[in-house]
Amino acid sequence: MIVSRFIFRFLCIGIVSLHSTFADERLDVLKRISAAGAPALTLKMLDQAQPKLDTDLYEWILWEQERYKILSQWQQWDRLLVKLEGLPVDIPEQFKHQAITYKARAYIKLGQTSTARKILRDQLWQSDADAVVEYQTWRRLVIVSYLEDGRIEDARIAMLRFDQDFDSQEVSWLLLRASVLIQTGRYEQAVQILQDQTSWQAQTTGLLAKFRVGQISQSDLWKQVKSATAKQDKHPDELATLWALGVYAAEHMSPVDRVIALEQHFRNTLVSPLQLFELQADRLWRAYHEYAQLVGNRAELLVGNNSKWLELANNAAKATPIKARSLYALLMAKSDEVDIINGAASGYLKTFGTIEEAERNLLNHLFNHSDSFADADRIPPVMRYQLVDLALKNADIEEATRLMSGLTTYPEGTDRLSWQLRQSRVLILGGRYEEGSQIMQVLIAEYKEPSAENTDRILQVLFDLQTVNLHDEVINHFNQLLHIGVEPRQHREILFWIGDSYKGLKKYDQAALLYLQSAMLPDPQAMDPWAQTARFNAAESLQKSGLVDDARRIYQALLDVTEEPVRRSLLNHNIQQLWLNQNTD
């Protein structure tokens, strides 16, 4: 409650001083809200409360910098680029240089490394570039872009030139140097560079270098990874990195160890922030396939006899779930039989027992971030249901829409109406209005046994369509409901909402008619709060349609029964305006 009140205060209080303590407090609140896992709320509050550029440039820049940090932290690279492209041209040079750094980093993260290098070179080739605070950062980003492209030798040469020009001992630079050295096979140098560093990033990178040079055996490294990951104080970044290190340790161990390490890596919400430990989900698909083929060969199964492979997986599911998941994964990826694929997908999910956040993260990486299932239509429906839940939980409407589109079945344990309502709402929120409207058309046509609860749920989705101004479609859906036969209260409400849609279409006479019909149910003389609201809206619509005398009579009827001073004042004002406009005309 205290947090809610503070947020309300945050949104409502004006900006009183550009350098005030309160302004700093508000920015701190935003940082804490973002860190708590609500970046969408944070950005919305930023939009509402950020000082104007022409009011105080200094304060605007502080808030804008925080926006970039949040978008970067939550990997909203496209949104970040949109904001950066819209920056005014006359901003201070120092802030402009910071924006260029964010832009280059965003393009690198999106895989557009050549674009990033062009942006960086345009800055680095300027005559006074070496005097810019961001100069060293830009040169490091060029190295990072080479690493992302796999141009290891170019990265090494750029690193040597940087070392010649600067004697930097910053941890971030030492990590980048070590990364280049490891990827060029200079493991001992990497160990030496990082030996005095205490950060988890440096220690994990150092362990990889020691493993590569033979100072640590794969079994010892595997034990260290399992021991470190068993501790409860690890940030998801560190956990993902440690399990990536475990994957390297398991490369020459048993196939099941490779699957274990990779599954644990991808059960994290985030992947490792270190380039050396960024693993692709297709690596787990390959590990599944290798292990499954080994198991199938031992069982002397023939390739293509999918029913036998599925039977083997089902038999293994309870005792050895990792073996079963590997077999199921092979069938999902390789089989062309729909029943086998769906059976394998269901079996895969059942091996987890309860689907928690970690399992959804694993599914997200496997199906949303792999080449194997780049096309959403290839993802088995039972998997798509889980992924939709995850996308909605993360407020990723675009992803939920992509996954939901085209689904014609609904998950077990969910009734058809509930799933159709959810599907329609996601599509509408995702901008696929016609698809969402078509689903509602089918849903209402099949809605033969109306209940007050379900009708209210249908109305909530229709309000979404109304919000995006699909008034013709909404009127059709509302009329469908009226023909079915709903409760009197809901009949009255639906007439009102139809009136709203006619008003949205600027068909004010029809709107007035519907509002009055709503007001007069069930009693033509009704003047309860609902009836008064409906009559007021009818009068407004009549006024807009030019039927001034009708509008005046309805306003006067409302004035006769209204006692509240504020409402009486509003009604008197509207009546007066009618007289004035009529006399003017």
Taking the model in full, what pTM does it have?
A: 0.68
HSE, side-chain direction, 13 A CA sphere, residue 96: 9
pLDDT on residue 350:
92
Q: Quote the pLDDT of residue 282.
A: 93
Q: Which residues contact 294 (CB under 8 A, 6 or more apart)?
A: 255
**Whole-angstrom Cα distance, residue 53 to residue 19?**
14
**pLDDT score recorded for residue 319:** 92
Q: Rounded to an integer, what distance in angstroms lies between the CA atom of residue 526 and that of residue 519? A: 7
Tokens of 269: 């919400």
Which is it for the CA torsion 52, 56, 59, 61, positive or negative? positive
Distances in Å between the Cα of 145 and the Cα atoms of 111, 138, 141, 152, 189 are 9, 11, 6, 10, 22
How far are the Cα atoms of 68, 75, 123, 474, 485 from residue 449, in angstroms, in the given order? 51, 46, 68, 21, 9
Residue 270 falls in which region: left (phi positive, over 0), alpha (psi -120 to 50) or beta:
beta
Q: Is 463 left (phi over 0), alpha (psi -120 to 50) or beta?
A: alpha
Task: Specify whether the backbone of 395 is left (phi greater than 0), alpha (psi in -120 to 50) or beta.
Answer: left
> Which pLDDT belongs to residue 15?
32
Residue pair 458/439 in contact (Cβ under 8 Å)? The answer is no
Residue burial 497-525, b: 16+ Cβ < 10 Å; e: rest: bbbbbbbbeebbebbbbbbbbbbbbeeee
Tens of pLDDT along the chain (585 residues)?
Answer: 333 333 333 333 333 333 445 556 777 777 777 766 567 767 877 887 788 888 888 888 988 998 999 899 888 899 999 999 999 888 899 999 999 999 999 999 999 999 999 999 999 999 888 899 999 999 999 999 999 999 999 999 999 999 999 988 899 999 999 999 999 999 999 999 999 999 999 999 999 999 999 999 999 999 999 999 998 788 888 999 999 999 999 988 899 999 999 999 999 887 888 999 999 999 999 999 999 999 999 999 888 899 999 999 999 999 999 999 999 999 999 998 989 998 999 999 999 988 888 898 899 899 988 888 888 888 888 888 888 877 777 657 777 778 877 766 666 666 788 878 887 888 887 777 888 888 888 888 888 888 888 888 888 888 888 888 888 988 998 898 888 878 888 888 888 888 988 988 998 888 888 888 888 887 878 788 888 888 888 888 888 887 877 777 887 888 787 777 767 777 777 776 766 565 544
Domain ranges of the chain: 280-406
Nearest to 115 by CA among 127, 128, 126, 106: 106
Q: Tell me the one-letter amino acid at 297.
A: N
* Helix ranges, 74-170 (H): 77-85, 93-109, 113-124, 135-149, 152-165
- Written as six digits, the tokens of 203 are 């220690």
C-alpha–C-alpha distance, residues 424 and 210, integer Å: 54
Contacts of 153 (CB under 8 A, 6+ apart): 184
What DSSP state is assigned to residue 50? P
The one-letter amino acid code at 567 reads R
Distance CA 139, CA 156 (A): 12
Q: Please, are residues 311 and 332 in contact by the beta-carbon 8 Å criterion?
A: no
Q: Do 499 and 541 contact (CB within 8 A), yes or no?
A: yes
Q: What is the pLDDT of residue 578?
A: 67
Find the DSSP H helices in 430-564.
433-445, 452-467, 471-484, 488-504, 508-519, 529-544, 548-561
Closest among 133, 149, 144 to 104, alpha carbons compared: 144
